[in-house]
Amino acid sequence: MITYIALFEYEQGKQGFSVVFPDFPGLVSAGDTYEETLQLAHEALAGHIEVLLDYNEQKIAEPRTIEQIQKTWEDWKEWEDNYTFLVVPITVFSRSKKSKVVNVELDEYLLERIDMVTSNRSEFINRALEHSFELKA
């Protein structure tokens, strides 16, 4: 997992937030509430990185600290002088397709139901979890 800095801009008296990612010029997101904006920021960043990896267009930016951003990001002075904002760390999880052996405990009834529909428990559980996370995104 890798953590990048996102700047959440908000204006007193107005609804909603917008987000920029100093490590990814042009990547922006927005939402009506902080919670929605946070979720959409995670999705925007993960999607952007996934596209970059899929198309092998460029090297993925190494995350910078807020101190590094203050020193090197060309828009920092404008943000510092003109916006009210929050600095929010956004974590991107690995999309590795490597398998890892883990020991999990399952309800016996669920295990029997899994065995009724597949001979590959790991694949079934992986697909169920992927589907579950897609529904929540």
pLDDT per position as a tens digit, 11-54: 777 788 999 999 999 999 999 988 999 999 988 998 888 888 77
Range of the domain at 74: 2-92
The answer to whether residue 62 scores a pLDDT higher than 70 is yes
Confidence (pLDDT) at 109 = 94
> Tokens in use for 66?
């807020």
Q: Are residues 41 and 75 in the same domain?
A: yes
Q: Are residues 85 and 107 in the same domain?
A: no
The answer to whether residue 136 scores a pLDDT higher than 70 is no
Asked if 9 and 19 touch (Cβ cutoff 8 Å), the reply is: yes
Q: Are residues 50 and 8 in the same domain?
A: yes
Q: Are residues 113 and 66 in the same domain?
A: no
The answer to whether residue 73 scores a pLDDT higher than 80 is yes
Q: Are residues 108 and 58 in the same domain?
A: no
Confidence (pLDDT) at 54 = 78
Confidence (pLDDT) at 57 = 61
The answer to whether residue 78 scores a pLDDT higher than 70 is yes
